[in-house]
Chains A and B, each alone.
Chain A
Amino acid sequence: MKKFINDPGDVVAQALRGLAAAHPELRVDPENQLVVRADAPVRGKVGIVSGGGSGHEPLHGGFVGPGMLDAACAGEVFTSPVPDAILAATRAVDGGAGVLHIVKNYTGDVLNFEMAAELAGDDDITVETVLVDDDVAVQDSTWTAGRRGTGATVIVEKVTGALAEERASLKDVAAIGRTVNERSGSFAVALTAATTPAAGRPGFDLPDDEMEVGVGIHGEPGRRRAPLAPAADVAALMVDAILEAKPATGTAIVLLNGLGGTPLLELYLLYGEVAALLESRDVRIGRSLVGNYVTSLDMAGASLTICHADDEILRLWDAWVRTPGLRRGV
């Protein structure tokens, strides 16, 4: 393992210290592992809190700022944050209009956010939760923990953040978040495994001539292994899987996301294939985003997210935003 770290046990707090140094416009609390918008709580505005395991940067701390999240809780690497931290974030952003929790569907995230929402209720803070479960690689049945939350989280955070900025009600902000999630599907392919600082070695062995298909964002192995294929075939595999699970035509927001270890050259190459395929399938790309947004440490690979958008979602996607990881119109 070759990494820029001091102590494998203190990676997250030290990274947050760096984030604070780079972004004085944010309030960072390395002890509780929180990133909070500097002017929080904003009176009369729905506060938006997200969070999860670290290792997915810029998700979530990189999306804190006007137009997106009010606070993010950073758990240990690939481990959801604890209820105390989520409660502290919830209190910090409650401007009297209630707080929205954006939670990716993983057992640990769901349990810890549920506990925190209950505790916030004792404080008379109204909390609504949007559960993101866009990963179509996982069977959504009673026989699994349900679909994972992956790339669509970025779109949910952006769109709800924009609506909250317009002083919409908690009910409406939560509703648009759920709509974005329902209209989104994602699928990922990995070429290498991620190495967590604590483990010090890759989470799984992947021979040079194989890829993991339908992989998650925590370095957990995918549904199956397949021989390494050309980018055009990988693009087809992802597009087919998503459109089969979430069929729609019309305008889409398309996110081609790098998992941390894949250069932009390859991401753009892959995106070119995706764009051509979508055109042939009568999906019009309304907006697109290519880059590293929901990473898995140093994992090589990419995830594709297709959100079948309506005019309202597109309008909110286009709204101004000022965060370390996403910045537009300012």
Chain B
Amino acid sequence: MNVEQARAWITAIATTVEAEAETLTRLDSAIGDGDHGANLKRGFAAVRAALEGFEAHTVGDVLTKTGATLISKVGGASGPLYGSAFRAMGKALASPDVTTEQLGDALDAGLAAIRKLGGAQPGDKTMVDAWLPAVAAYRKKGPRAAAAAAEEGAKATTELRARKGRASYLGERSIGHQDPGATSTALIFRALA
């Protein structure tokens, strides 16, 4: 991945988040407070604006800028979680061109940032349930496999009982609804494929 490809990835995320904002909000209305789609849409629109005219020398510059913008524009839980993930990825990629293996390491660093900040374990019905299988698939078979694994991970959250985030207040009633955070993570990996 080079700097231009990094920009293209972020732009693709912004486009898919915009297109799927209503779906994310609908999922969030079922078990959260119904703002996930609107928040991410607002956040990535701000990222798009921030990257325009931004001089990036490394892949990391693009991702760090993305993360910082998400933290300062989104709020809620998704702002700090995705923001920290992109910043952690950015820190790990300090060159104009990065190898597939380096990007795999960076995705892992992003996952670690999300887990450290949110304290979620696999199976808690959060974005970790999509991000974790996606990183593993990326390392073995590349971006397309990662996108499929993230999608599958997101779908599998439907049967889980939420133990983190706002959905956890619902207890048993959270079962039967796909997690909005895991769903937006799947969009991020879809944009990478």
Contact = CB atoms under 8 A, between A and B. Distances in A.
Interface string B131-166: 000000000000000000000000000000001111
A145 B33 contact: no
Contact of B168 (A81, A83, A145, A198): A145
Interface string A69-87: 0000001111111111000
A84 B75 CA distance: 10
A203 B33 contact: yes
B29 interface: yes
Looking at B76, B79, B165, B167, which has the most chain A CB atoms within 10 Å of its CB?
B76
B163 A220 contact: no
Contact of A220 (B78, B79, B118, B170): B170
Contacts of A53: 33, 75-76
Interface residues of B, number: 34
A1 interface: no
Secondary structure dominating the interface of B: helix
Contacts of A203: 29, 33-34
Contacts of B63: none
A83 B71 contact: yes
A324 interface: no
Interface stretch (B6-14, B35-43, B104-112, B182-190): B35-43
Contact of A115 (B30, B71, B73): B71
Given A144-B171, A145-B166, A218-B166, A77 B35 contact: yes
Given A107-B77, A115-B71, A79 B169 contact: no
A138 interface: yes
Contacts, number: 115
A76 B39 contact: yes
B38 A198 contact: yes
Contact of B35 (A76, A115, A221): A76
A45 interface: no
A112 interface: yes
Contact of A112 (B38, B79, B167, B169): B79
Contacts of B42: 9, 76
Interface string B31-73: 1111100110010000000000000000000000000000111
A165 B117 CA distance: 35
A82 B74 contact: yes
B90 interface: no
A interface, size bucket: 35 or more
A107 B171 contact: no
B72 A83 contact: yes
B80 interface: yes
Given A9-B42, A145-B164, A78 B117 contact: no
Contact of B169 (A9, A83, A108, A148): A148
A239 to B, nearest CB: 21
A79 B75 contact: yes
B81 interface: yes
A139 interface: yes
B50 to A, nearest CB: 13
Contacts of B38: 76, 198-199
B178 interface: no
Nearest to B43: A82
A218 B170 CA distance: 13
A219 B34 contact: yes
Contacts of B118: 107, 111
B172 to A, nearest CB: 9
Interface string A235-247: 0000000000000
Contact of B75 (A112, A196, A204): A112
Given A203-B33, A204-B29, A81 B170 contact: no
16 contacts: A9-B42, A53-B33, A53-B75, A53-B76, A77-B35, A78-B34, A79-B35, A82-B79, A83-B71, A108-B77, A112-B80, A143-B163, A145-B168, A198-B34, A203-B29, A216-B169
The 5 closest A-B pairs by CB, nearest first: A218-B33, A108-B76, A108-B77, A144-B168, A198-B38
Given A106-B77, A108-B80, 8 more contacts: A80-B75, A82-B74, A83-B72, A84-B72, A139-B171, A216-B169, A218-B33, A221-B173
